[in-house]
Amino acid sequence: MLLTWLLAACTAVLPPPQVEEATPQITRTRPVMPTLMRTDTPTPAYTPTANPFAELRGLEIRLLYPWTGSLAAALQQAVAEFNQTNEWGITVLAESSGSSMATAQRLETPSPEAVAPDLIVAPSEHLLYWHANGNRIRPLNDFLLDPRWGLSEARRADFPLVFWQQDQADGQQIGIPALRAPRVFFYNLTWASELGFSRPPESAAEFKQHACAAAQANNTDRIGSNDGSGGWMVDTDGWTIYAWLKSFGLANPLQGEPARLSFNQPQTLQAAEFLRGMVDEGCAFFGRIPPEEAFATRRALYFSASLLDLPILTAAMQRLGSQDVWMALPFPASDRPVVVVGGLSYGILRSQPERELAAWLFIRWMTQPEIQAALLQAGGGYPLGAASAMLAQEGMRQQYPAWLPTLQWIPIAQPLPVSGEWRFARFILEDAFWQVLQYYVPPAQIPAVINQIDPTLREVIERHAAQTSP
């Protein structure tokens, strides 16, 4: 069953499809393998070299990544193995910036003494932005298709199409997936059953019904400290809000020529009014404790988070002694669930041909299923293909029982907006929806707040471009 789910989501990459956020067909049981086409990317100078080893031998390249903790340790282990075993004598010097925002700051406002990295791990929207603004990211089509250095057709097809789509622009593959995860709801099955619900919610109306029942239960029990809680713990993260917009039917927000992000659609207002109604009726609440603790102590029937937060929630449930059974849910919609995935990718910064090739060879090393499986077990999220899923599934299933059922959503997953503008838009959405959910903002003013999303986004993008231009 696991292999069937993942095969249904996979297809070969290149040429990139037109990203209209069309949902992949869940009924497909084997990958479609379109004819691959080369692009107009200039052929690197090293290609005709009779002995490319001479150009690669002894090269040191720098990798900048945002991870810390167990995921950083797993990456460093892979780096050490590559350094010890690669046939070209390439050495990768890997450094953690501590966060994706710190990585962006290092690249956009470097200190005079800073040494520029050759490759980075960054959110897809950051790679797309640096490609569109400054042409700093090297497209990878020629590397992917190179008969000697490239990825085999089978390896390319192992990645679900939606994961490739997130790093595509102007007919080019800008990055290679490094980590992917969906935004989900964590839902307390045991408590919901006690409230009289025999199955999880499948629509926005049912989502609200379950939340209101949990809130009423907390407000009418004999425990005063949980009054005002019980339903959905409000989360206005831009990723969460975008998933809500999609669940209300938001069309592709990339509009115009050149394509710009725009949220000026009726569904944006509909989602805002729905969520504000939940808050006003006491079915959604702003929490004062971490959401996983609210969930573990039955102060929240569900909360929204990344699938990457599974380890945090699992530890909280154990620490607080909860015996409740729980699961992850997609965002509710009347026709089919909404699953929005995002994540980080490997990107190569433009430099000299031999350094770019060395960086690519390391990225190719990182796409091996064994390494992908090790990163998956260290950091969580979605497997990047069927091969790594098969290697990691037993360990993941034992550690996190809620993980395996989420894989069935991969064939219907859709990406976050495939645009560098998303790096700014997510914070604009977060701020706008935080405002409309406040009790002191009259409901009549909600349309005015929503109408300011697009103008504010344009202003922020222009200001950032002015501040970071050389």
For 41-80, the pLDDT digits (tens) are 333 333 434 455 678 889 999 999 999 999 999 999 999 9
Query: Sorting pLDDT into bands at 50, 70 and 90, what band is 1?
Result: low
Place of tokens 């390494």: 371
- The mean pLDDT of 397-425, rounded to a whole number, is 96
C-alpha 52/C-alpha 361 separation (Å) is 13
- The mean pLDDT of 393-397, rounded to a whole number, is 94
**Hey, what are 328's tokens?**
């992850």
CATH 3.40.190.10 location in the chain: 2-182+342-415, 183-340+419-468
Tell me, what's the pLDDT at 336? Answer: 84
**Hey, what are 175's tokens?**
């990055």
Question: Does the structure show a pLDDT above 90 at 22?
Answer: no
Tell me, what's the pLDDT at 15? Answer: 40
- The mean pLDDT of 402-417, rounded to a whole number, is 97
Query: Sorting pLDDT into bands at 50, 70 and 90, what band is 114?
Result: confident
Radius of gyration (C-alpha) of the chain in whole angstroms: 23
C-alpha 16/C-alpha 145 separation (Å) is 13
Tell me, what's the pLDDT at 40? Answer: 40
- The mean pLDDT of 10-36, rounded to a whole number, is 36
Q: Which of 178-187, 254-263, 334-343 is most confident? A: 178-187
- The mean pLDDT of 390-404, rounded to a whole number, is 95
Question: Does the structure show a pLDDT above 90 at 366?
Answer: yes
Query: Sorting pLDDT into bands at 50, 70 and 90, what band is 18?
Result: very low
Please give the model's pTM, rounded to 2 decimal places: 0.90
Question: Does the structure show a pLDDT above 50 at 34?
Answer: no
- Residue 184 φ then ψ, to 5°: -135, 170
Nearest 5°: the CA angle 82, 88, 90 is: 55
For the CA atoms of 370, 371, 373, 375, the dihedral, rounded to the nearest 10 degrees, stands at 170
* 106 in Cβ contact with 114 (< 8 Å): yes
- From the list 124, 140, 66, the residue with the least C-alpha distance to 340 is 124
The class of domain 2-182+342-415 in CATH terms is alpha beta
Percentages (nearest 5) of helix, strand, coil residues in the chain: 45, 15, 35
What is the CATH topology of the domain spanning 183-340+419-468? D-Maltodextrin-Binding Protein; domain 2 (3.40.190)
Nearest 5°: the CA angle 96, 101, 103 is: 40
Question: Does the structure show a pLDDT above 60 at 450?
Answer: yes
Q: Among residues of the chain, what percentage have pLDDT more than 70?
A: 88
Tell me, what's the pLDDT at 37? Answer: 38
Query: Sorting pLDDT into bands at 50, 70 and 90, what band is 442?
Result: very high
Question: Does the structure show a pLDDT above 90 at 470?
Answer: no
C-alpha 96/C-alpha 68 separation (Å) is 7
Tell me, what's the pLDDT at 21? Answer: 37
Tell me, what's the pLDDT at 2? Answer: 57
Terminal alpha carbon distance of the chain:
52
Query: Sorting pLDDT into bands at 50, 70 and 90, what band is 112?
Result: confident
Question: Does the structure show a pLDDT above 80 at 213?
Answer: yes
* 453 in Cβ contact with 263 (< 8 Å): yes
AA identity, residue 19: V
**Hey, what are 289's tokens?**
């404790």
* 27: Cα within 13 Å, side-chain hemisphere: 0
Tell me, what's the pLDDT at 135? Answer: 92
In three state form, how does the secondary structure of 215-266 look? HHHHHHCCCHHHCCCEEEECCCCHHHHHHHHHHCCCCCCEECCCCEECCCCH
- From the list 70, 74, 71, 119, the residue with the least C-alpha distance to 92 is 119
- From the list 93, 100, 156, 150, the residue with the least C-alpha distance to 130 is 100
**Hey, what are 37's tokens?**
């086409």
Q: How far, in Å, are 53, 138, 221, 241 from residue 19 at the CA level? A: 38, 20, 50, 21
